[in-house]
Amino acid sequence: MNRISKTLNAALIERDAEIRACLLGLIAREHVLLVGPPGTAKSLVARSVAAAISGSRYCERLLSGGTPPEVLFGPVSIAGLRADRYEHVGAGSVSECEIAFLDEFFRGSDMILDTLLHLLGPERQALIGTSQVNVPLVSAVAASNTWPTEPHQAAVFDRFQIRRTVRAVSPQGREALLYADLPPVTPVITLAELHDASVLAQALAVMPETRTALSQILDELAGAGIRVSDRRARLSVRVARASAQLDGAPAVHPGHLEDLSMVLWSDPESVDKAGEIIARIANPVGARINETLRATDDAVTAAGSDAAGRMKAIKQLEESEREVAKLAAAGAGNGRAKAAATYIRRERIRMQALALGIDPAKAEALLGGQS
């Protein structure tokens, strides 16, 4: 699992969190929803994850209001019709794949979304013709430009245990996005190894302090008006175990609950609040780092092209860099503090270069060894 994470992160720019979401979905055998504007590599993430797993069958479908069942489950069998049977030829369809990617998911008609309820449910079944058939689906990744807004979409929306907002590449990652020679994704693990990881994950013990932290999270979410269904709360433990397995941990520790920021909420408007509560309880140091990174991005955005604004932002970035560097020196944040310090430092150098009229890329190369 460590190899597949490294391989995928090397092939994609600033998609670490989305890759982790998909890998968690595969280990926990749950489904993943990626929501973000067009052109943010949602489909590329799904294809790349599938490409890294040898022996897996991958199926990709684009949904629209006019998508018929045959697009998902295969064409109607002519031979079956001649024998007075209504059935589909399922080869290459979502009924015969382990990994599925469903693009523009919420553009699908009510009929199509309803037909997917059982496929995406724990029963993993599909209506093939007139028969309800068990399917080998491990995890489906769906993509959408917007969160669902219609009440009738609530049931199928809830089928996605892991849900992640996808944002555009940051200014810092733009150079790599435009010019980096990214390696192709080749198989790293087998489908059998993935199955073993899933089995091992669900056997991991949940430490007593983790159970206490999860109860506190659920209580605080309820106190903040964030509704979490009983089913979602129970399934969240599967995701926490998958998080521990993905990290190679021998048991589920409180820090693994941080991934539940993609799980423990129902209303998209509560995503940020839920994430803040979960991070603060599961990983206090990580929450401080996240808050500092948000302040960094806000300072850069507020600076604009104004010289005075850039100087103000530079001072704020210097303070943030010192704060995170202290955490990194203390070994806090499980390596995240060091990565955050590097990110803030690069943003500070970029802002200084812009203020002086210097090419940011050249400034970073020149100042690479300096503080």
Profile the chain (371 residues) by mean pLDDT over runs of 10 residues: 92 95 97 97 97 96 91 79 73 90 95 91 82 90 95 93 95 86 95 96 97 97 94 96 95 95 94 93 82 81 80 87 80 68 84 79 59 42
* Residue 141 contacts residue 98 (beta carbons within 8 Å): no
* Residue 146 contacts residue 106 (beta carbons within 8 Å): yes
Q: CA 278 to CA 331: how far, in whole Å?
A: 22
Is the domain of 155 the same as that of 257? no
* pLDDT at res. 108: 93
| CATH number of the domain to which 141 belongs | 3.40.50.300
* Residue 1 contacts residue 23 (beta carbons within 8 Å): yes
Is the domain of 143 the same as that of 215? no
3-state helix, strand, coil in the chain (%, to 5): 60, 10, 30
Task: Give the residue among 106, 94, 95, 97 at the shortest CA–CA distance from 34.
Answer: 106
Helix axes 284-303, 271-282, angle to 10 degrees: 140
* Residue 262 placed within a domain: yes
* Residue 188 placed within a domain: no
* pLDDT at res. 31: 98
Is the domain of 263 the same as that of 332? no
Is the domain of 150 the same as that of 66? yes
Is the domain of 48 the same as that of 112? yes
Is the domain of 42 the same as that of 153? yes
* Residue 193 placed within a domain: no
* pLDDT at res. 344: 87
* Residue 315 placed within a domain: yes
Is the domain of 148 the same as that of 58? yes
As for how many domains the chain has, the answer is 3
Looking at residue 305, its amino acid is: S
pTM for the model stands at 0.84
146-150: long-range pairs with CB below 8 Å, 24+:
146/35, 146/106, 147/35, 147/268, 148/106
* pLDDT at res. 371: 42
* Residue 192 placed within a domain: no
**Of 262, 282, 302, which closes a domain?**
282
* Residue 191 placed within a domain: no
Q: CA 49 to CA 45: how far, in whole Å?
A: 6
Is the domain of 34 the same as that of 81? yes
* Residue 189 placed within a domain: no
How big is the CA angle at 96 (ends 95 and 98), to the nearest 5 degrees? Answer: 105
**Of 264, 282, 300, which closes a domain?**
282
Is the domain of 166 the same as that of 301? no
Is the domain of 151 the same as that of 239? no
* Residue 371 placed within a domain: no
* pLDDT at res. 285: 80
- For the chain, what's the residue count? 371
**Of 282, 315, 332, which closes a domain?**
282
Other beta carbons less than 10 A from residue 342's beta carbon: 14
Is the domain of 30 the same as that of 13? yes
Residue 351's domain spans which residues?
A: 285-366
Helix axes 16-28, 2-11, angle to 10 degrees: 140
Is the domain of 301 the same as that of 342? yes
